[in-house]
Structure 1
Amino acid sequence: MDSTRSLKNFSWSLNTSSISKKAQQCLYFLQRLRKAHLPPQILIVFYRGTIESILSSCITVWFGNCTASDCKTLQRIVRTAEKIIGVSLPYITDMYTTRCIRKANSIVNDPTHLSHTLFTLMPSGKRY
Structure 2
Amino acid sequence: MAGQLKSSNISNLSVLQSPVISNGSYICLILSKRPSSGCIFKKVKSFGLTSQVMLNFHRAVIESVLVFSITVWFGSITQKETLRLNRVVKTASRIIGRDLPSVEILYQQRLLGRATLISQDSSHPAHDLFEPLPSSRRLRSTKTRTNRFSTSVFPLAVQARSKQK
Q: Which one has more relative contact order, counting CA pairs under 8 Å at least 6 apart?
A: 1
Identity of aligned residues (%): 34
Counterpart of 1:47, as a letter, is H
Residue 122 of structure 1 and its aligned partner are, at CA, apart by: 2.7
Q: List gaps (5 residues or longer) in structure 1.
A: 1-9
Q: What per-residue deviation string (whole Å, max 9, x for no partner) do you get for residues 5-28 of structure 1?
A: xxxxx9622111102234543332
The residue number in structure 2 matching 1:126 is 137
In 2, Cα distance between equivalents of 1:24 and 1:117 = 44
The residue number in structure 1 matching 2:46 is 35
TM, length-normalised to structure 2: 0.67
Counterpart of 1:76, as a letter, is R
Moved more, 24-33 or 58-67: 24-33
**RMSD between superposed Cα atoms in Å:** 1.6
Moved more, 23-32 or 70-79: 23-32
The residue number in structure 2 matching 1:16 is 27
The residue number in structure 1 matching 2:125 is 114
In 1, Cα distance between equivalents of 2:105 and 2:77 = 15
Residue 86 (structure 1) aligned with residue 136 (structure 2):
no
Alpha carbons of structure 1 residues 103 and 23: separation in structure 2 relative to 1, 3 Å: farther
Q: List gaps (5 residues or longer) in structure 2.
A: 1-20, 140-165
In 2, Cα distance between equivalents of 1:68 and 1:45 = 28
Counterpart of 1:124, as a letter, is S
The residue number in structure 1 matching 2:161 is none
SS at structure 2 position matched to 1:41: helix
Q: What per-residue deviation string (whole Å, max 9, x for no partner) do you get for residues 62-103 of structure 1?
A: 111111111111000000000000000001000111111000
TM, length-normalised to structure 1: 0.85
For these two proteins, the number of residue pairs brought into alignment is 119
The residue number in structure 2 matching 1:95 is 106
